[in-house]
Amino acid sequence: TDAALSQGAQVIIGAASSGVSLTVIDKITSQGALMISPANTSPALTTYEDNGLYWRVAPSDALQGAILASTAIDSGITKAAVIARQDAYGEGLEKAFSKNFTEAGGTITSELLYDPEATTFDAEVAEIKAGAPEAVVVVGFEESVKLLQEMIKQGVGPKDQQVYLVDGNISTEAYKEFPKNTMKGVIGTVPSGEADLTAFNEMLLTVDPALTDFTYGAQAYDATVVVALAANVAGCADGTAIAAALADVAGNGGEACTTYADCLALIQAGTEIDFNGVTGPLDFNQYGDPASATISINQYTGNDAFEEIGKVTAEVPLP
């Protein structure tokens, strides 16, 4: 961040982690630079004082938490335990799930936060087991592997009851070494797009054939394009001016366009545009968040594969 700002950067795309963004947002926005994240989902960022300079393409976890809760309720789950990493991301998604789950009539048997640097999860998993949940929601990153291993050891893993993962830990790589088919049936949610992303992901593979994780790839692309279009509308490379133009290029009722080239041609012709990215329509609300978004619901078919079993597009709940 320091290096980019010292070289005069007016736009910073990132960070991927909400926790990281919260450590640098003041530094970036105080210098008049625009910060736009393709992957931040913490609800804490919605109302953060940012001088209108923080935007994001991924929805607040107020939406993912609600969809995850309704998915569990619709599956007949009445009692669930939630364990989440203790940071802006984990706490935000945990609260969103628990709120929506209990409002729908469910009972939270355990509501636990853990240190992301923890080396063992014995005590936390023992508490989960003692609550006798019908399902366990795990909100984390790469440390979820150790957590799930302890859950399996204590008899509360995917073979014992329903397990739900989220965008931070859904993976085709992380659980490969688990005993065969341990992950089969696990459900994972992740922000995706109203549009089908298959063709876009195939394009990414032409750049990197070894790519296995496509999460937030489409959002990163859309963030880049919408910033470039806003810079053209602003007529300059000033972060504050570009931020002010973002709403003018997305969701303002202008002529719909889907590629940078087509949208730029319309701008140059003096036509107002409504950019629809590879994820679908990109409309911002008054907080610089997506006004609506799509959550993909996936089910593991093995330790290293999952398939989409549904998707929900809805307005993102406001604070």
Taking the domain 61-194+292-315, which CATH number applies? Answer: 3.40.50.2300
13 pLDDT tier (thresholds 50, 70, 90): very high
Q: Looking up tokens 């797009």, which residue turns up?
A: 193
119: how many CB neighbours lie within 10 A of its CB? 7
d(CA 252, CA 275): 9
Confirm if 22 and 49 have CB atoms less than 8 A apart.
Answer: no
For 279, the 3-state DSSP assignment is coil
Query: pLDDT, tens digit, for every residue of 46-88?
Result: 999 999 999 999 999 999 999 999 999 999 999 999 999 999 9
225: how many CB neighbours lie within 10 A of its CB? 20
d(CA 143, CA 85): 9
Q: Residue 11's pLDDT is what?
A: 97
Q: Percentage of residues in the chain with pLDDT exceeding 90?
A: 95
Q: Percentage of residues in the chain with pLDDT exceeding 70?
A: 100
Is the whole model's pTM more than 0.85, yes or no?
yes
Q: Residue 44's pLDDT is what?
A: 95
Q: Do domains 2-58+202-278 and 61-194+292-315 have the same CATH topology?
A: yes
Map out the domains of the chain as residue ranges: 2-58+202-278, 61-194+292-315
Instruction: Please say whether the structural domain 2-58+202-278 has been given the CATH code 3.40.50.2300.
Output: yes
Torsion of CA 218, 220, 223, 229, to 10 degrees: -80
Give the mean pLDDT of 269-295.
95
Q: Residue 269's pLDDT is what?
A: 97
d(CA 207, CA 216): 16
Give the mean pLDDT of 210-235.
96
d(CA 300, CA 146): 18
